[in-house]
Chains A and B, each alone.
Chain A
């Protein structure tokens, strides 16, 4: 299945080494192919984003836990700990 993925803030550093993604700015979507049935945790592993640096994961605009099972066409946003106001 194919996902549209966005990495935000500090997490953009995990694009380094991937020629297709290296120069994308924060929040720019890119496509990722994963086997059917993959979860958010599988996606983080595939992207080599360390679990402990991830605070919030959104699937189609809704926050979901890491064992959330993804579907073809899902849009995923991955955030480190952030705040403001």
Chain B
């Protein structure tokens, strides 16, 4: 297994064996360990001392279901803290199949408008991967929907692509890292935290992986791995949420719109209400029914990446049956919909596609536009105005750059007090005042406001892994802590976080995940180790953040959420500072 280092300062690379200390790491565990160990916490995120690390998960590249995931990690230009941003793509599996457990991009190319690409391929003679540099300047300043076909034309079909859009070239806090989808489009993202700008700051535009001849992931104990894989498949195929033609496969992640609205926790018009009158028009059911009407047949969702058996990625179609956008995820649908007072799926899809083309994070984009609408730049509900603002971001105009700085930055520029962000990162699609546990996750996560860091929505709203009252703060610090640690393990394993919906309810599925990891690594973990391994990752991240100046004082929810009651339940965020601090103090 290999660790590749690429130095962008002198355009050199080295391929070396994976150090012993990293043998049992993957995904987030790998990226956060390397960032915490090697990146000076006080470095400028867009300077030469930051490092951008990619790591496939432990079981990524194997036949384990729903595991083509990659972690991208660095110091975040959005939060100023450590960042791991997870994406699903063939790019993840291809990196793993090249037996690369970590790709570390260091240094900074000299700035003269030139951008470079990396081409990783398998050197059969040397039995190891190798790195070639290529001039990618022709792709600078271009829409990613133009760039990707050209890259496929140059390198052939047997490749995967990652890169940054123009947003990453501009250095926005809101710039994701893009990966190819199964249709070769630029629509899968490590979206959050501005990692696209870390990539762009290094003079790196593209990383192309050739899968030809790659040896695949070695498995230490095949029988154990297979046993675990079967348990995982059984769990995913039988649970109502993850099974074929189940909720995710039929309606996609946007099936959450209606239940969050019903629970009074769907942030609306820049977090001023928990209910949106246009919710049903933008929900997953409306996507399913709208596609049926426009295509004349039922359309079930597809896999974002090879080997996924949940298959939750939707495609929204135009009235003439052509593709409008893929994928309209819950978070994007909400951010550019309810949060902006917009109820047109066609307009939301237009904005999703623009974000994908410019390399923008849809959550950060929608959260930013919500604040700017409240500032009066354009009115709530003005979808054409919102579309224009995204174009400003894509063009890099002065206004676009203010918006591209992210929710917190744009809020400051306009003198706003109602800015839904933690550590500068815009909040996702769940209201902390209506769902207290997720608010604790937003406040305390090492990532800034991030729902995926500890998804307490499962028990608080969805009845998965038990049922808990979303309005009470009681016991929620412990709940969030447990979810954050388990999540760090899943993000390390290489499985998509959505396996949690099944394995939280089906114990054998949870065992299966651990057995798959043991099968690959030769470890002897049990399910009791999930929390321990996850907590080690969190502690490394936390230590980095504290050294970077993000101590517990930054683990707070914006003031307006403590003082302004949210309709319809008229709740404020009433979790004490002591409870928030206990999340990591008692880890």
Contact = CB atoms under 8 A, between A and B. Distances in A.
B330 A85 contact: yes
A14 to B, nearest CB: 14
Instruction: Indicate the member of A6, A25, A82 with the most B CB atoms within 10 Å.
Output: A82
A17 interface: no
A10 B255 CA distance: 11
B283 A26 contact: yes
Q: Interface range on chain B: under 10, 10 to 19, 20 to 34, or 35 or more? A: 35 or more
Contacts, number: 108
A83 B285 contact: no
B252 A27 contact: no
Interface in B298-319: 312
Contacts of A81: 239-241, 246-247, 462-464
Contacts of A62: 263, 471, 569
A62 B467 CA distance: 12
A26 B258 contact: yes
Question: Is chain A's interface secondary structure helix, strand, loop, or mixed overall?
Answer: loop
A12 B280 CA distance: 13
Given A26-B258, A27-B279, A63-B263, A83 B458 contact: yes
Interface string A69-81: 0000000010111
B501 interface: yes
Contacts of B283: 26-27
B455 interface: yes
A14 B264 CA distance: 25
Nearest to B246: A81
Contacts of B464: 81, 83
B455 A85 contact: yes
Interface in A26-85: 26-28, 55-56, 58, 61-63, 77, 79-85
Nearest to A82: B247
A82 B251 contact: yes
Nearest to B245: A10
A1 interface: no
Given A25-B280, A26-B283, A61-B569, A83 B263 contact: no
Given A56-B463, A81-B241, A85-B498, A9 B247 contact: yes
B135 interface: no
A28 B279 CA distance: 11
A84 B262 contact: no
Nearest to A84: B253
Interface of A: 6, 8-10, 12, 25-28, 55-56, 58, 61-63, 77, 79-85
- Which 5 interchain pairs have the tightest Cβ spacing? A84-B253, A26-B285, A81-B240, A84-B256, A27-B280
